[in-house]
Structure 1
Amino acid sequence: MHNEQDEIPLKEVAANKDASDNVETRPKKLNYFLYIIAAIVNLLSIASGSAIVWVTPALPKLDGSRGIEENPFSRPITTSEISLLAALTPLGGVVGPLGAAKIAAKFGRKRMLLILACLLGVSYLIPVVAKTIAWFYTSRFLIGVAVGGVYAVIPVYLTEIAENHNRGALGCSMAIFVACGMTVTLIIGPYLSIPIFSLVCATPIFIFVPIFVILGPETPPFLASTNDVKNLAKSLFKLRNNSPEEIHKEMDRILEAAKRTSSQNSGRLQDLFKVAYLRRTLLISTTLCLFQQGVGFGCVVSYMQIIFEASKANLASEFCVMIVGTCQLLGTLLSSIIVDRAGRRMLLLGSTFGIFVALSTLGLYFWLKNNQFQLDGFSWLPILCLSVFIVSFGIGLGPVAWVVMAEVFPPNVKSYAASIVGCSTFVLSFIVVVAFPHLSLVLGMAKCFVMFSVVSLAGCVFIYWMVPETKGKTLEEIQRSLRRR
């Protein structure tokens, strides 16, 4: 089949331009291979979700809460060691996107995903045999590097292999699988020893590597940027359910876009700051992902039990985990279903406004409570507010911000842009999570949540004025639109 495809001569780009602008107007057949590849890639998302929360169920075994027999060090770790163990993952996340961007831009998205999978696997295997805290530090830093790279590369890979009508759903799928990994890890972690727990968390990686090596294609835009026409044709025939003529038109369109992009920028990091429309696009993407962290999602998830205790809800930690996991899964699932119908802007606006309502209500609740108002009949309100907050975040700001980031940049600078956005996100996440306990002591819970709600309202205004709608457009049409703006 591939030999026949390679023999199809390229038509003139200009002759196909008008036809290519109207592609995918007819009903589409379900492309099973495309969704299988997306599911395989998202095995890394599951492993990354597990990595983010791994320390939560592991700490009771390391600090002596569960007894010395489950501790690999034969001694409880100190408070400073606990802090460093928790902080090394987001610090690694700052470094990861930078290296991932350089390799992905030069050698391709597929190779970078395989490198990240190997790094994740090694990081998970270290606690299986480690007997000193230094090795655990190494594991957590390396796993942060890998997770940072995953967040930078997977959204790019998924949006570049997707079609116009399912690009939003595939882009949002990463958040679903990350939430699955987090939820399952928090549920099973308390019942497993650290070596077995780490091996279970690494299982998706062991499945991913051999299957992806055999089945995973490189993305068409990257192949076009390297002018690899033969493999571009093979990749499109794998990823599309279309006729040879339609695939040929899409191939022409992608090659034309790659030539036009290379004539407008050299595909280097500095182009993001020198070229006017790229500079503006980088500002939009980075600010959007900064709002994603600035609304306090990391704080709410990390300090959920503290928030519930302060509200006197007195819920068991297991129930808190169930609420967080269920609401996050519900939000991300709903987002993936409606994102290609409702559009990116609508979901982002609805998400930030829902976050604003939830957090401002929660701030009001804590203010009334601190001022001795009787709220015994409203003990359910913090649960409702946090559930609305998590669902709102999962519907829009959580997954869709990454989808927009992966859509708005041309392929030859997309990896660099993703690294800058990823680094900025992890830096702010680290700052916000570390600062929240101190701010809550100085300002109180009420003012902290009001502050987060103001950030979400500012994000709503920013999205309305600055974020472009990309629903239903080809990646090339998005680029043309951004250049005109």
Structure 2
Amino acid sequence: MQQQKLKNLPVYVSAFIACLVAFVAGITFSWSSPMLPKLNGNKDPDINPLGRPATLLEQSWIASLPALGAILGPLIAGLAADKLGRKKTLIVIACPVLVSLLIMAFATSVLEFYIARFIMGVGSGSVFTILPMYLVEIAEDQNRGTISCLFSNFISSGFLFTYIVGPYLSVQNFCLVCLIPLLVFIPTCFIWNPESPQFLASTNNLKELKISLSKLRKYKNTEEIEEEVLNVSKTVQDLNQNQCTMKDLFKSRVLCRALIITLGLITLQQFSGITAVIPYMETIFEIANSGMVPETSTILAGAVQVIATIAASSLVDIVGRKILILVSTTGACFCLIVLGLYFFLKSYDYSVDAISWLPVASLILYIVFFNVGLAPIPWTILGELFPPNIKAKAATIATILNFTENFIVVLIFPSLFTYFGMDFAFWFFAIICACGAVIIYYFLPETKGKSLNEIQTLLQK
């Protein structure tokens, strides 16, 4: 296995470089965890750039606006990916994120934070459309799952970076530090990364297609490269003979099934509770009053998240997609039930001193289960179920749904636990996970190690 990975090193390097934008997307959606306590006056008021405490409503909008912007981003990125290509689109969408970080670094009003967070969401949301597509298209069948999971690895690494660095820097300094990955990504991706082979084949650019594959498959000889050029070209040409529109997603039985599966997994992912946990993690630990410093608990949870996503990327091509996401959903459900029980006992003034460790342990275990399957598998499945000529359109729909649901959950979560209690909020998410596990068991096909043609045949049956 290690020898095979060394042979495929150019693919992993290209994927690593591309995933730097996913790292910053992770920062986007976890930014509010350490920054809101600075804006609401809970931390040192002297470092609050607003000059006054932000209200609960203002905090909710600052936390949720990236998800609203991310709804718009995929509409633009999906069109650009078919015109400019995957690589150039990734570089272009990094620019609004860079601009938004600069605005927030020098913002002194809530309105400026609103605008910057919305712009940040536009760019980061586009990453969720283009990057999974690019990763799947540069990979081979035997390493497609592992490379696809790098997307989630870098997202969770962005979360961890925010949890470790954010609490100890001012808003301005933290935003400026977050510029570094983008300043590395833009020139490095432009110089090193090849364009997606499938995109080059779709534009009939055989010369660049050969160059791209030669760079990605350095372990292959000239004859093997030529053979893959022919195979990729033939596959894409066959698909292009049947050009698909957005309507075809709903007319074709195979594509419609693929879309239902993908949107179902995305909905389960967003309503499993992680969307509320990530931006409000410090707040949750403060309410839990577990005895551990909230910042320390948050860092520990973020570190576990990274480890879990790395484990998932190692297991996804061995164990399979369906088993991993079943284990993930069932385990997350159990952890949410226990977490809700702790807050239920606490709200009714039962003594919870003997189990003060429970919220931290439950939340960390929940993060482990979530990242083993629910985090990476929906995006991996999205990249696998659709042919190249419709993939960008399907990814656009999926990403819009993803961030619409993300926006709703992040916006209402503070009101949910304020008016109904933290126990009700976590039990609501647990019920969603339980229903999702049943549906996955009966309806999700296994795609491990299967080619696009085999997956399409499986959906047809």
Asked if Structure 1 and Structure 2 have the same fold, meaning a TM-score greater than 0.5 normalized by the shorter chain, the answer is yes
Question: Partners in 1 of 2:59 and 2:437 — Cα distance?
Answer: 37
CA-CA distance at 1:358 after TM superposition: 1.4
Out of 372, 375, 395, the residue aligned to residue 372 of structure 2 is: 395
Q: 1:352-378, CA deviations, whole angstroms, 9 ceiling, x for partnerless residues?
A: 111122122333444455566655433
Determine the structure 2 residue equivalent to 1:88: 65
Between 83-92 and 375-384, the greater mean CA deviation after superposition: 375-384
Question: Partners in 1 of 2:94 and 2:385 — Cα distance?
Answer: 26
Asked whether the equivalents of residues 105 and 176 of structure 2 are also in contact (C-alpha less than 8 Å), the reply is yes
Determine the structure 2 residue equivalent to 1:98: 75
Question: Partners in 1 of 2:73 and 2:105 — Cα distance?
Answer: 23
Task: State the Cα RMSD in Å.
Answer: 2.4
CA-CA distance at 1:191 after TM superposition: 2.9
Question: Partners in 2 of 1:80 and 1:377 — Cα distance?
Answer: 35
Out of 387, 394, 397, the residue aligned to residue 420 of structure 1 is: 397
Name the CA shift for 1:357/1:253 in 2 (closer, same or farther; >3 Å).
same
CA-CA distance at 1:105 after TM superposition: 1.9
CA-CA distance at 1:441 after TM superposition: 4.3
Determine the structure 2 residue equivalent to 1:248: 226
Between 398-407 and 296-305, the greater mean CA deviation after superposition: 296-305
Question: Partners in 2 of 1:143 and 1:402 — Cα distance?
Answer: 21
Asked whether the equivalents of residues 275 and 406 of structure 2 are also in contact (C-alpha less than 8 Å), the reply is yes
1:297 counterpart = 2:274: yes
Out of 410, 417, 442, the residue aligned to residue 440 of structure 1 is: 417
User: SS in structure 2 opposite 1:38?
Assistant: helix
Determine the structure 2 residue equivalent to 1:409: 386
User: SS in structure 1 opposite 2:263?
Assistant: helix
Determine the structure 1 residue equivalent to 2:157: 180
1:210 counterpart = 2:210: no
CA-CA distance at 1:313 after TM superposition: 1.8
Asked whether the equivalents of residues 254 and 476 of structure 1 are also in contact (C-alpha less than 8 Å), the reply is no
Pairing of 1:77-226 with structure 2 (within 5 A) = 77-226=54-203
Structure 1 runs of 4+ off > 6 angstroms? Answer: none
Between 277-286 and 244-253, the greater mean CA deviation after superposition: 244-253
Question: Partners in 2 of 1:56 and 1:160 — Cα distance?
Answer: 34
Asked whether the equivalents of residues 123 and 143 of structure 1 are also in contact (C-alpha less than 8 Å), the reply is yes
Question: Partners in 2 of 1:415 and 1:97 — Cα distance?
Answer: 9
Question: Partners in 2 of 1:140 and 1:448 — Cα distance?
Answer: 25
Ranges in structure 1 where 5+ consecutive residues have no aligned partner: 1-23
Name the CA shift for 1:133/1:370 in 2 (closer, same or farther; >3 Å).
closer
User: SS in structure 2 opposite 1:473?
Assistant: coil
Asked whether the equivalents of residues 301 and 324 of structure 1 are also in contact (C-alpha less than 8 Å), the reply is no
Determine the structure 1 residue equivalent to 2:250: 273
Question: Partners in 1 of 2:457 and 2:257 — Cα distance?
Answer: 14
Between 116-125 and 286-295, the greater mean CA deviation after superposition: 116-125
Out of 228, 233, 240, the residue aligned to residue 262 of structure 1 is: 240
CA-CA distance at 1:392 after TM superposition: 0.3
Between 32-41 and 305-314, the greater mean CA deviation after superposition: 305-314
Q: 1:4-49, CA deviations, whole angstroms, 9 ceiling, x for partnerless residues?
A: xxxxxxxxxxxxxxxxxxxx9x967522211111111111111111
Question: Partners in 1 of 2:33 and 2:284 — Cα distance?
Answer: 16
Question: Partners in 1 of 2:377 and 2:336 — Cα distance?
Answer: 20
Q: 1:70-94, CA deviations, whole angstroms, 9 ceiling, x for partnerless residues?
A: 3445555454443332232111111
- The aligned amino acid for 2:131 is I
Question: Partners in 1 of 2:444 and 2:453 — Cα distance?
Answer: 17
Q: TM-score, normalised by structure 1?
A: 0.88
Asked whether the equivalents of residues 105 and 413 of structure 1 are also in contact (C-alpha less than 8 Å), the reply is no
Question: Partners in 1 of 2:30 and 2:197 — Cα distance?
Answer: 34
Asked whether the equivalents of residues 58 and 190 of structure 1 are also in contact (C-alpha less than 8 Å), the reply is yes
Determine the structure 1 residue equivalent to 2:24: 47
Q: 1:201-242, CA deviations, whole angstroms, 9 ceiling, x for partnerless residues?
A: 011111111111111111111122222222111111111121
Between 59-68 and 420-429, the greater mean CA deviation after superposition: 59-68
Name the CA shift for 1:124/1:368 in 2 (closer, same or farther; >3 Å).
closer
Ranges in structure 2 where 5+ consecutive residues have no aligned partner: none
Name the CA shift for 1:446/1:66 in 2 (closer, same or farther; >3 Å).
closer
Out of 308, 311, 315, the residue aligned to residue 338 of structure 1 is: 315
Asked whether the equivalents of residues 92 and 142 of structure 1 are also in contact (C-alpha less than 8 Å), the reply is yes
Name the CA shift for 1:441/1:68 in 2 (closer, same or farther; >3 Å).
closer
Asked whether the equivalents of residues 41 and 208 of structure 1 are also in contact (C-alpha less than 8 Å), the reply is yes
Asked whether the equivalents of residues 309 and 371 of structure 2 are also in contact (C-alpha less than 8 Å), the reply is yes
Question: Partners in 2 of 1:416 and 1:153 — Cα distance?
Answer: 11
Name the CA shift for 1:312/1:396 in 2 (closer, same or farther; >3 Å).
same
- The aligned amino acid for 1:417 is A
- The aligned amino acid for 2:84 is F
- The aligned amino acid for 1:419 is T
Question: Partners in 2 of 1:199 and 1:441 — Cα distance?
Answer: 33
CA-CA distance at 1:342 after TM superposition: 0.6
Asked whether the equivalents of residues 245 and 390 of structure 2 are also in contact (C-alpha less than 8 Å), the reply is yes
- The aligned amino acid for 1:221 is Q
Question: Partners in 1 of 2:153 and 2:322 — Cα distance?
Answer: 20
Between 46-55 and 342-351, the greater mean CA deviation after superposition: 46-55
Asked whether the equivalents of residues 31 and 279 of structure 2 are also in contact (C-alpha less than 8 Å), the reply is no
The alignment of Structure 1 onto Structure 2 pairs a total of residues equal to 459
Determine the structure 2 residue equivalent to 1:461: 438
Name the CA shift for 1:94/1:448 in 2 (closer, same or farther; >3 Å).
same
User: SS in structure 2 opposite 1:342?
Assistant: coil
